[in-house]
Amino acid sequence: MLDIVQFGPAEAREEIDPVLLTMLAVNRLGPATIRTATNGKALTVAVDDERIARIFRAALDEMQKTRRTDRLVDVVVAAPEPA
């Protein structure tokens, strides 16, 4: 069963755009999990928001139950790259 990640009182937090969150997951977590599954080497995924990092970590915790190589993916918070 999936655990719900709580971030504090609803009025104290901003909503995360579900489309943006899905795009980030597909574009960052997807390739990382494929690479770790094929080569067995640890990878780091950087995001620019602690809330997104917690969501990604919770997702990886669930995914690790069926694909052990997902334990090799680490999520860190880093400043976004300048454009």
Work out the mean pLDDT of the chain and round it to a whole number: 84
Mean pLDDT of the region 16-39: 91
* Full-model pTM: 0.74
* Cα separations in angstroms, 9 against 12, 13, 26, 50, 56: 5, 7, 28, 16, 20
Residue with tokens 């790259």: 81
The full set of domain ranges for the chain reads 16-77
Judged against a pLDDT cut of 70, whether residue 62 lies above it is answered with yes
